Amino acid sequence: VEACAELTDRERTIIARRRLTSTPTTLSALGDELGLSKERVRQLETQAMKIEEHTSELRHRTISYA
């Protein structure tokens, strides 16, 4: 949840619709809904996942050293 705070609304929407549902929305469908190409949706998804991983690593390091 904390990692999501670092994401834009668009990135949160993409992650939620692609990864947090039992039937993920396709890149094409999300692109149509958001007015983006499916390649741009893929790029934003990848970027959001990297942000979440980085935030998670930082949180883990902070907890480990506390």
Q: What is the pLDDT of residues 20-65, one digit of tens each?
A: 999 999 999 999 999 999 999 999 999 999 998 878 777 666 665 5
C-alpha Rg value of the chain to the nearest Å: 14
> Given this model, what pLDDT does residue 55 score?
80
Which of 8, 14, 12, 44 is CA-nearest to residue 29?
14
Q: Which two tokens stand for residue 7?
A: 């994401």
Which of 59, 58, 50 is CA-nearest to residue 11?
50
Q: Is the pLDDT of residue 15 over 80?
A: yes
List Cα–Cα distances, 64 to 4, 24, 26, 52, 53, in angstroms: 21, 34, 38, 18, 16
> Given this model, what pLDDT does residue 4 score?
64
> Given this model, what pLDDT does residue 1 score?
45
